[in-house]
């Protein structure tokens, strides 16, 4: 096993060589070492080297499906996705957050070289929802240590999970898709801080992916929008600043959703983007969110 400095030096050389694997370097050993340091507090190795290498190797075919299965199983485990879960403002957040990105990459490889079963995809969804319900550290960029960005990375992993197809078919039914929308709402209704790193937009992508499954209807989506409780929004009568933080996060997300859905790039059938936009506008104005 390489030390931190040895791994950093090796990955720096690999990155400089357009992420090609040097002669004599064992990819299995490199993956093991990268997983060991995947959540290191040094943002350069965590983000600029380890994640960048995983991403490039997934894209260029260096990582095999067998190796990705190992990465996926590892990153879904207690010492990765759930490492230090429930802690706030500790470095354990980096392990959880960058495990999410590795999970998201598994679906990128599956799209090119299918290896996941429907049961696999559904199990990943369950793990992500469990994680989302327990995560308490919502920091975006951490001074001196780089990105934590748990909410955005959770959105990326959820989005890729929802979009995954096995034998040309999506993996989720209506109940599962509604559970995913509930998880999105859980992340949006954060009262600990105001999101400042475009978390709202990343979560909108999840909503679009859910709708692209062509299972949910306008009524399903509008009922979910209405569940944000427009009549329960007198934040000034609540706990300050927490209720105000929740108010801002909800408003920013619904605004992002409003501006996204009329996009001509949306290829939705079961959900009418125009009708959704009109409903959102009525909701936003009428509820004064």
Query: What is the mean predicted confidence (pLDDT) over 179-190?
Result: 97
Nearest to 110 by CA among 66, 51, 173: 66
Tokens read off for 100: 């999410």
Average pLDDT over residues 29-50: 98
pLDDT tens digits for 221-278? Answer: 989 998 987 555 677 777 899 999 998 999 899 999 988 865 544 555 556 777 777 7
Q: To the nearest whole number, what is the mean pLDDT of the chain? A: 92
Whether the bond between 241 and the residue before it is cis, its omega within 30 degrees of 0, is: yes
Closest by CA to 151, choosing from 137, 166, 165, is: 137
Are the CB atoms for 83 and 96 separated by under 8 Å?
yes
Query: What tokens were used for 272?
Result: 């009418």
Average pLDDT over residues 217-223: 89
Mean pLDDT of the region 1-15: 95
How many CB atoms lie under 10 A from the CB of residue 8?
Answer: 19
- Alpha-carbon distance of 71 to 81, in angstroms, equals 12
Given a cut of 80, whether residue 131 has pLDDT beyond it is: yes
Rounded to whole angstroms, the Cα distance separating 261 from 283 reads 15
Question: In the predicted model, what is the mean pLDDT of residues 8-30?
Answer: 95
* pLDDT top residue among 24 and 16: 16
Find the mean pLDDT for residues 163-182. Answer: 97
In this prediction, residue 277 carries a pLDDT of: 76
At 147 the pLDDT is 98
Tokens of 182: 């509930």
């Amino acid at each position: 096993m390489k030390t931190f400095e040895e791994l950093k030096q090796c990955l720096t050389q690999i990155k400089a060589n357009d992420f090609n694997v040097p002669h004599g370097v064992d990819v299995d050993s490199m993956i093991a070492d990268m997983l060991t340091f995947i959540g290191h507090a040094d943002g350069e190795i965590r983000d600029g080297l380890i994640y960048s290498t995983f991403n490039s190797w997934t894209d260029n075919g260096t990582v095999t499906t067998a190796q990705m299965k190992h990465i996926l199983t590892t990153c879904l485990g207690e010492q990765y996705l759930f490492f230090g879960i429930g802690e706030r403002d500790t470095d354990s957040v980096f392990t959880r957050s960058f495990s999410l990105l590795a999970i998201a990459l598994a679906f990128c490889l599956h799209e090119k070289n299918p290896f996941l079963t429907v049961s696999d995809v559904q199990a990943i969804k369950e793990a992500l929802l469990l994680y989302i319900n327990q995560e308490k550290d919502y920091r975006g960029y951490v001074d001196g240590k780089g990105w934590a960005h748990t909410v955005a990375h959770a959105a990326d992993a959820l989005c890729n999970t929802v979009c995954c197809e096995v034998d040309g078919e999506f993996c989720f039914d209506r109940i599962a898709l509604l559970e995913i929308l509930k998880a999105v709402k859980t992340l949006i209704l954060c009262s600990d801080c105001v999101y400042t790193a475009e978390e709202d937009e990343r979560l909108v992508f999840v909503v679009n992916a859910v709708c692209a499954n062509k299972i949910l209807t306008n009524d399903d989506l509008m009922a979910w929008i209405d569940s944000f409780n427009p009549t329960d929004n007198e934040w000034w009568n609540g706990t300050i600043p927490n209720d105000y933080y929740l108010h801002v996060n909800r408003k920013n997300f619904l605004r992002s959703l409003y501006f996204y859905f009329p996009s001509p790039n949306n290829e939705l059938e079961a959900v009418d983007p125009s009708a959704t936009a009109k409903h959102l506008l009525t909701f936003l104005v009428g509820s004064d969110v």
